[in-house]
Amino acid sequence: MRNQRGAVTAEAAMVIPMLAGFTVALVFLVNVGIVQVRSLDAAREAARMVARGDSIGSARAIAQRVASPGATVRIMKGSRSVKVQVAVLVSGPGGLLRGNLGQLTARAEAAMEPSA
At residue 102, the pLDDT reads 84
Q: What is the CB-side half-sphere exposure of residue 47 using CA atoms within 13 A?
A: 19
- Residue pLDDT, tens place only, 40-99: 999 999 999 999 999 999 999 999 999 988 899 999 998 899 999 999 988 877 666 666
At residue 97, the pLDDT reads 66
**What's the rounded mean pLDDT across residues 106-114?**
93
- Residue pLDDT, tens place only, 85-108: 999 988 877 666 666 778 999 999
Parallel/antiparallel/unpaired status of strands 100-111 and 72-77? unpaired
Flag whether pLDDT at 1 surpasses 60: no
- Residue pLDDT, tens place only, 22-31: 988 898 889 8
Flag whether pLDDT at 21 surpasses 60: yes
The C-alpha atoms of residue 34 and residue 53 are separated, in whole angstroms, by 29
Q: Residue 90's closest CA among 82, 81, 99? A: 99
